[in-house]
Amino acid sequence: MDSEFVRYDVNDGVAVITLDRPQAANAQTPQVLKDLNAAWDASDTDRDVRVVVFRSEGKHFSAGHDMTGGGSDPALGPKRIDGQLTVDTYYDWEERGYLHYARRWRDLVKPSVAAVQGKCIAAGLMLCWPCDLIIAADNAQFSDPVGLMGMPGIEFFAHPWEFGPRRAKQILFTASSITAEEARECGMVNEVVPLDHLAARTMEIATKIASMDPWGVRLAKRAINGAVDAMGFSNSIAANFDIHHLGHARAIAHTGGVTSVMADLAAMKAGNRKE
Ligand code: ZN
């Protein structure tokens, strides 16, 4: 595929989607996300593909959304009215550009395995959480420090499901990270392996899955995701996306930006906020 930062390769039934932007710690621009989604789509329609591996190049898995804009085409960004972001257009843009992608990848009928190394920050979680299995290098660290920006957590709010409620609260309330081993303890990660074994072990598992009856694997995935949905997963994701946007709405109303930092809050407290 023709993408600056995304590679897509298929060998022996295994599609490997690689986010290749290590110079920016694999931060995600709208174009990167669009290209990643195109790769997931390709894996879905390619009849030779039985399993998807998601990985990234470099020291860190992903630093999250590219807050600098990353040289993206402005046309891929949120719609502005008279130069201003609005609550409704920003909601619409994040729903299409962030939330729908994560849900789409999670619900792909084919199985997927993520390989995570180094730091996986905030929206980095939205690249690995949708995958069915997660293999982590022993140097992996997971965090979602957007509470520092007046936000509850990222758009695909799977935190209680992935970390467990209490650990999710600690991570979010204190903007702290957990190690690969801690992530394995709470059930978010399947296996922790030495960094230099990450690629080999991930491919070993993917190859094993690819050797199975694809119909059996597909049904097992459907059964497990269906069970999790029956417990409320998808409804919770949808409801918490709205809560996420209460965070953006306050920032848009009071600062014109999409997040509030402590300086904004201090200005609000001092009575300098926009009314
Ligand atoms: Zn957001």
Dump pLDDT digits (tens) for 182-218. 999 999 999 999 999 999 999 999 999 999 999 999 9
Could you tell me the two tokens for 198? 């990450």
Structural domain of 168: 6-269
CB atoms within 10 A of CB 263: 9
Distance CA 55, CA 198 (A): 10
pTM for the full predicted model: 0.94
Name the strand (E) or helix (H) holding 55: strand 51-56
In a domain? residue 243: yes
Question: pLDDT averaged over the chain?
Answer: 94
C-alpha of residue 82 to centroid of ligand 1, in Å: 21
- Our CA angle for 59, 63, 64, nearest 5°, is 145
pLDDT of residue 98: 96
Q: Which helix (H) or strand (E) holds 16?
A: strand 14-19
Does 117 map to a domain?
yes
pLDDT of residue 206: 98
Residue 271 has pLDDT above 90, yes or no: no
Please indicate, yes or no, if residue 1 is contained in any of the structural domains: no
Q: 94 C-alpha to center of ligand 1: Å? A: 6
User: What is the CA(33)–ligand 1 centre distance, in A?
Assistant: 14
pLDDT classification of 3: cutoffs 50, 70, 90: very high
Q: Report how far residue 126's alpha carbon sits from residue 61's, in angstroms, rounded to the nearest whole number.
A: 11
pLDDT for residue 63 is more than 80 = yes
Residue 22 maps to a domain? yes
Strand order, beta sheet including 112-116: 6-11, 14-19, 51-56, 112-116, 133-137, 191-193
- Judge whether 275 lies within some domain: no
Looking at the predicted structure, is the pLDDT value of residue 110 above 80?
yes
Is residue 49 within 8 A of residue 43, CB to CB? The reply is yes
- Compute the distance from residue 219 Cα to the ligand 1 centre, in Å: 33
Q: How does pLDDT run across 125-155, given as a tens digit for each residue?
A: 999 999 999 999 999 999 999 999 999 999 9
Confidence (pLDDT) at 269: 67
Q: Find the helix packing angle between 87-94 and 233-254, rounded to 10°.
A: 140
Mind giving me the DSSP string for 161-198?
HHH-HHHHHHHHHHT-EEEHHHHHHTTS-SEEE-GGGH
Contact 63, 121 (CB under 8 A): yes
Distances (CA, A) of 17 to 37, 56, 68: 10, 8, 24
Query: Do the Cβ atoms of 131 and 102 come closer than 8 Å?
Result: no
Please spell the DSSP secondary structure of 205-245, one letter per residue: HHHHHHTS-HHHHHHHHHHHHHHHHHTTHHHHHHHHHHHHH
CA of 91 relative to ligand 1 center, distance in Å: 8
Q: So what's the pLDDT on residue 275?
A: 43
**CA 184, 189, 190, 191 torsion-angle sign:** negative
Which residues place a Cβ less than 5 A from the ion ligand 1?
A: 94, 155
Residue 68: the pLDDT is 75
Q: How many structural domains are present in the chain?
A: 1
Neighbours of 179 (CB within 10 A): 16
Per the domain annotation, does 128 fall within a domain?
Answer: yes
CATH number of the domain that residue 49 is part of: 3.90.226.10
pLDDT recorded at residue 255: 86
**What is the token pair recorded at 5?**
């930062």
User: What's the chain's Rg over C-alpha atoms?
Assistant: 19
Buried b (16+ CB within 10 A) or exposed e, 103-130: bebbebebbbbbbbbbbbbbbbbbbbbb
Evaluate whether residue 159 is within a structural domain: yes
Question: In Å, how far from its chain's centre is CA 231?
Answer: 21
143 within some domain: yes
Give pLDDT tens digits for 152-176.
Answer: 999 999 999 999 999 999 999 999 9
How far away, in angstroms, is 186 Cα from ligand 1 center?
25
Compute, in angstroms, the gap from residue 83 CA to the centroid of ligand 1.
19
Distance 245 CA to ligand 1 centre (A): 7
> What separation in Å is there between the alpha carbon of 178 and the centre of ligand 1?
22
